[in-house]
Amino acid sequence: MTQNNLFQSPTPEQLTERMDHIPSNTMMACPYCQTKFFKTQLDEFRQCPECHYGFRLLAHDRIKLLCDSFEETEKDLAPSATDFPDEKYQNKIKQAKANTGLNESVLTGIAKIADQDLALGVMDPYFIMGSLGSQTGEKITRLFELATKKKLPVVLFTASGGARMQERIFSLMQMAKVSRAVSEHKKAGLFYLTVLTDPTTGGVTASFAMQGNITMAEPHALIGFAGQRVIEQTIHQKAPKDFQRAETLMKNGFVDLITPRDKQKEVIAKLLRWHQAK
C-alpha cells in the first residue's frame, strides 16, 4: 500500500467488497441514534453504547438484571383468548406465549431488591407488543391488591402498544379496573414507582403508566398517548422529531427522572428505602 492511497477514502466498490467480508450478524444498529456497532459491544443491559437507548427486553431477562430474588404470581392464570375465539388471535397468543414464556403480556411477582421487598410487574414488549388484554389487566390488578394487603410498594415497568383491540371494549375496561386498584394502593399510603420503557403508548399511558408517585423513564423511550401516524393524519403535517421521547416528556413535566438500565437497581433501591410504609 503506497503512502498515497493510505489517505484516500475507499471507493464504493472497495467498501462493498470489504462489507462482503463482514458476517451479517456481527453488527447492529441503534433504532434511536442509528449508530452501528459490533454486537459484542452490547452489554448485559442491552443498551446502545452511544446513546444508552435500551433495546427491548424479555420480562424474564429484566427480572434477572434487577432482582435479587423473584417469586412469580398468577403464573397459572389462563390467557383471556378463550373468551375471544378468533383463530388468528388465538394463534397470536400461542406464538407470544412461546416467545416469552409468559401467560400474558405482563410478568408479576414478589421480589427483593437490595434487601427490600416489593411487588413487581414487568410488561413484555415481545408479547403482542405488551398490549393490554383482559388478563394483563387482571394480573396487574391482582398485583396491586396483593401489595395493598401486604403493605408493599409496587414497581411497574411499562411497555405497551396500548389497548388490545381484539378484546374490544373489555380491553378498555382494564384501564378503569387497574386504576381503581392503584387508587386503593395509593389510599393505603403505599409507594408506586412506574418505569416507562420503549414503547409506552395508548391506553397504558392513559392509565397506570401515569399514576405513579414517581415516574422514571429509560433514555429515549417512546412515550405517548396517540400514535404518530394518527396525529399526522389529523394535523396533516409531520410531527416534530422526538416529540414523544422520554427527554421531551421530562422537559414538559411528565417524567421525574431518566435512568439508564445499569443505574436502575441502585436508584430504585434508594427510592424504595426512602418510601418505607408507615
Partner 1 sequence: MTKKTAYDKVQAARHPSKITADNLISALFEDFIELHGDRHNKDDEAIKAGIGTLNHQPVTIIATQKGTDTKENIDRHFGSPEPQGYRKALRLMKEAERFNRPIITFVNTPGAYPGVDAEYNGQGDAIAQCLIEGAQLSVPYLSVIYGEGGSGGALALACGDQVWMFENSTYSVLSPEGYAAILWKDAKLVEQASEDLKLTPEQLIKEEIIDKIVPEVNDITSAKKLQKLLTAEIDKLQALSTEDLLNQRKQRFRKF
Q: Work out how close the CB of 69 gets to partner 1 at its nearest, in angstroms, rounded to a whole number.
A: 30
Applying CB under 8 A, among 47, 205, 259, 264 the residue interacting with partner 1 is 205
DSSP string, 142-196: HHHHHHHHHT--EEEEEEE-SB-GGGHHHHHHHHHHHHHHHHHHHHTT--EEEEE
- 33 among annotated binding-site residues: yes
Q: Work out how close the CB of 135 gets to partner 1 at its nearest, in angstroms, rounded to a whole number.
A: 11
- 67 among annotated binding-site residues: no
> Judged by CB under 8 A, does residue 173 bind partner 1?
yes
Closest CA to 193 of 113, 133, 119: 119
Distances 158 to 11, 22, 28 between C-alpha atoms, Å: 46, 37, 25
Please report which helix (H) or strand (E) contains residue 29, including its range: strand 27-29
Applying CB under 8 A, among 13, 252, 274, 278 the residue interacting with partner 1 is 252
Q: How far apart are CA 99 and CA 78, in angstroms?
A: 17
Q: Work out how close the CB of 145 gets to partner 1 at its nearest, in angstroms, rounded to a whole number.
A: 9
> Judged by CB under 8 A, does residue 183 bind partner 1?
yes
> Judged by CB under 8 A, does residue 136 bind partner 1?
no
Site residues for partner 1, 142-161, by CB under 8 A, read: none
Which one of the spans 23-31, 49-57, 98-106, 178-186 is the region binding partner 1 (CB under 8 A)? 178-186
Applying CB under 8 A, among 28, 51, 65, 226 the residue interacting with partner 1 is 226
User: What cell numbers appear for 75 in the block?
Assistant: 403464573
Instruction: Please tell me whether the peptide bond between 31 and the residue prior to it is cis, using omega within 30 degrees of 0.
Output: no
> Judged by CB under 8 A, does residue 51 bind partner 1?
no
What contacts 24+ positions apart, CB below 8 Å, involve 146-150?
Answer: 146/73, 146/110, 146/119, 147/118, 147/119, 147/185, 147/190, 148/181, 148/184, 148/185, 148/188, 148/190, 150/110, 150/119
> Judged by CB under 8 A, does residue 231 bind partner 1?
yes
Which one of the spans 22-30, 41-49, 94-102, 226-234 is the region binding partner 1 (CB under 8 A)? 226-234
**Contact positions toward partner 1, by CB under 8 A?**
134, 137, 141, 163, 165, 167-177, 179-180, 182-183, 186-187, 202-203, 205-211, 223-227, 230-231, 234-235, 239-240, 243-244, 248, 252-254
Annotated binding site for Zn(2+): 30, 33, 48, 51
